[in-house]
């Protein structure tokens, strides 16, 4: 017996398949980028902006993407990650930290970054640079920060397990970047790690990464796992290191301890 089709059922089905494919394409582009604005998705996929906005809003309602509180970029959520590997620490920590970072930025004014370790560098996952009136660098999301010449990298190295630290340092030695060589001196490196671990935060105050700025960073640690680092950057001529540490270190430590992240 043949099945009867109602008028227009084929076209509705085709439209539904097309919309579903577009939604998957948008989700794939968000995942591939690591963080992207709706307008950029529209340009990459050659789709109308209103269509992309509607699809992103739907994906957000379903819990597959989340909009950053700091720069309007969309990222995949842990639910979307579970469709693949099942766990992405950058996604998890970004979701947990975004609202806390926004509150911290109101208190500290200077820009605050959240970064995680990835392949011999710290990668900025969240930032308040776009909203800070004192920011000198707006394009921070996805930026790779050197391990030995930034406070975030130093904080991570001092807080991670010795075995992991040895792997990272050996990796840096093999890469052999000229700027890193002075900091890979065995005695200097050991002193940096010991001093940072004792303080509970890392410092950068000698112009080693950006001569115009200084920074401090606090690791986010649960048990023996380091999830990432919170760092704040300021113009060296505006604040002394002692002034910055007194004003910034306590609230940054409080935030690192308060983030709802489980090991």
Q: Give the mean pLDDT of 21-48.
A: 86
- Comma-separated ranges of CATH 1.10.10.10 domains in the chain: 9-81
Strand partners, 175: none
Of 95, 20, 18, the C-alpha closest to 261 is: 95
> Which own/partner contact pairs does 160-167 have at CB distance under 8 Å and 24+ positions apart?
160/117, 160/226, 161/224, 165/193
**What count of Cα atoms within 13 Å lies in the side-chain half-sphere of residue 9?**
5
102: its two tokens: 């926004």
Percent of the chain topping pLDDT 70:
80
CATH of 9-81, one of 2.170.190.11, 2.60.40.1890, 1.10.10.10, 3.40.1280.10: 1.10.10.10
**Distance (Å, whole) CA 232 – CA 147:** 16
Q: Are strands 225-235 and 112-117 parallel, antiparallel or unpaired?
A: antiparallel
**Distance (Å, whole) CA 160 – CA 221:** 9
Query: Could you tell me the pTM of the whole model?
Result: 0.68
Of 125, 111, 118, 198, the C-alpha closest to 153 is: 118
Identify which has the larger pLDDT, 75 or 262: 75
Of 46, 54, 245, 136, the C-alpha closest to 65 is: 54
Residue 254 pLDDT class (50, 70, 90 cuts): very high
Residue 61's CB is within 10 A of a number of other CB atoms, namely 9
Answer whether residue 181 shows pLDDT above 80. Answer: yes
Tens-digit pLDDT profile for residues 196-244: 999 999 999 988 988 999 999 999 998 888 999 999 999 999 999 999 9
Q: Give the mean pLDDT of 5-16.
A: 57
Tens-digit pLDDT profile for residues 51-66: 998 999 888 888 888 8
**Distance (Å, whole) CA 10 – CA 129:** 49
The DSSP letter of residue 139 is -
Give phi and psi for 247, each to the nearest 5. Answer: -85, -35
Mean pLDDT estimate for the chain: 84
- Comma-separated ranges of CATH 3.30.450.40 domains in the chain: 89-258
The arrangement of secondary structure in 89-258, i.e. its CATH architecture, is: 2-Layer Sandwich (3.30)
**Distance (Å, whole) CA 229 – CA 25:** 32
Residue 77 pLDDT class (50, 70, 90 cuts): confident
- Counting DSSP H helices and E strands in the chain, the numbers are 9, 8
* pLDDT score at 151: 97
Tens-digit pLDDT profile for residues 93-105: 766 777 777 788 7
Answer whether residue 15 shows pLDDT above 90. Answer: no
């Amino acid at each position: 017996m043949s099945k009867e089709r109602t008028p227009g059922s084929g076209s509705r089905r085709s439209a539904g398949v097309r919309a579903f494919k577009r939604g998957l394409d948008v989700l794939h582009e968000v995942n591939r980028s690591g963080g992207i604005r709706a307008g950029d998705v529209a340009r990459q996929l050659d789709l109308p902006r209103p269509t992309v906005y509607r699809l992103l809003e739907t994906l957000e309602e379903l819990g597959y993407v989340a909009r950053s509180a700091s720069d309007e970029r969309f990222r995949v959520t842990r639910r979307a990650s579970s469709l693949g590997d099942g766990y992405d620490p950058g996604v998890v920590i970004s979701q947990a930290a975004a609202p806390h970072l926004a509150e911290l930025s109101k208190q500290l004014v200077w820009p605050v970054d959240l970064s995680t370790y990835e392949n011999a560098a710290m990668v900025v996952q969240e930032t308040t640079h776009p909203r800070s009136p004192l920011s000198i660098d707006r394009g921070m999301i996805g930026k790779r920060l050197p391990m030995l010449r930034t406070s975030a990298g130093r904080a991570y190295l001092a807080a991670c397990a010795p075995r992991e630290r040895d792997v990272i340092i050996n990796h840096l030695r093999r890469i052999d970047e000229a700027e890193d060589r002075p900091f890979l001196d065995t005695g200097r490196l050991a002193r940096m790690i010991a001093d940072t671990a004792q303080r509970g935060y890392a410092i950068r105050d000698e112009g080693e990464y950006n001569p115009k700025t200084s920074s401090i960073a606090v690791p986010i640690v649960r048990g023996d796992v380091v999830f990432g680092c919170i760092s704040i950057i300021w113009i060296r001529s505006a604040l002394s290191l002692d002034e910055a540490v007194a004003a910034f270190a306590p609230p940054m430590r409080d935030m690192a301890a308060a983030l709802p992240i489980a090991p």
